[in-house]
Structure 1
C-alpha cells in the first residue's frame, strides 16, 4: 500500500484539486507498478497558519509530504531515482507551479507488517493480486505455503 500524508497550508487545495492530485498519485502506482487502485491512500492535512515550522520559524507556504510504501520495496537505486522523478512530476502542477516550498520523503515498511480488511495481501504480480486490481477491493483467498 502506498500511503501519502500531505500537510498543506489551509485552503492550499480545493476539493477538486485534492481529487485531481489523488488521481495523479494513484496513477503512479497503477501505471508503473500495477498495483490495485484501492491500495493507494492519500490523506490531506490542512494546517492552520503558524503550525508548520521550518528551521524554527513559521513557514506558511510549505507543503510536507510523507509517503509509506508497503506493497513494493525499491532496492534498486535507479528505481528509487525514477520514483522520485515521477513523484516530483506528478506534484509539480499543484506544488512547485503554485509557488509552494515542499519536501517529500518515503519510508518503506515490510509487507509482512500489513493487512487490509484483515487479509494478508497477496504476493506481488500474483493472480490473486491481479484479481484484487480488477475488483478494486480485497477478495478473500487461501494462503498457500
Structure 2
C-alpha cells in the first residue's frame, strides 16, 4: 500500500484539486490494485505549521509510506527516476502554484501489513492479479510462514 499524507495550508487545494491529484498519484502505481493507493489531505492551520521555528504559510509536506513494494537498497537510478515521476505528478498542484514543498518515503516491511485481516498476496502472484482485476481484497488460501 502506498499511503500518502499531504500536509498543507488551509485552502491550498480545492475538492477538485484533491481528486485530480489523488488520481495522478494513483497512476504512479499502475502495477498495483488501485485500492492500495490511499491519499489523505491534512489541512494545517497557520498557527500550527512551522519550519525552522517560523510560520510556514506556503509549505506542503508529503509523507509517503510504501508497503506493497519497496526499492532494492542499491537501486539509486531507479529511486531517482521514481522521484522524478513523483515530482511531475505533484508539479501542477504544488510547484506551479509557487508553493514550497518537501517529500519523503518510508518503506515498511511487507510482512507487517494486512488488509481486512489478511496479509496481502505476494507481489505479482495470481492472487494479487485477482485483487488488481477486482480492485478489492479477495480471500485466498494463505500460506503460513515457514
Question: How does the TM-score come out when normalised to structure 2?
Answer: 0.95
User: Equivalent of 2:61, from 55, 61, 64?
Assistant: 64
Could you report, residue by residue, the CA deviation over 1:28-59 in whole angstroms, capped at 9, with x for unpaired residues?
001xxx00000000000011112111111001
Are residue 91 (structure 1) and residue 93 (structure 2) matched?
A: no
Aligned to 1:53: 50
Residues 1-145 of structure 1: pairs in structure 2 closer than 5 A: 1-30=1-30, 34-75=31-72, 76-144=75-143
Could you report, residue by residue, the CA deviation over 1:76-103 in whole angstroms, capped at 9, with x for unpaired residues?
1121111111100000000000000000
Unmatched segments (≥5 aa) in structure 1:
none
Pick which of 45-54 and 93-102 moved more: 45-54
Question: How does the TM-score come out when normalised to structure 1?
Answer: 0.96
Unmatched segments (≥5 aa) in structure 2:
none
Distance 2:136 2:116 in 1: 9
How far residue 144 of structure 1 moved from its aligned partner, in angstroms, is: 3.1
Give the paired residue count: 142
How far residue 143 of structure 1 moved from its aligned partner, in angstroms, is: 1.6
Which stretches of structure 1, 4 residues or more, deviate above 2 A after TM superposition?
A: none
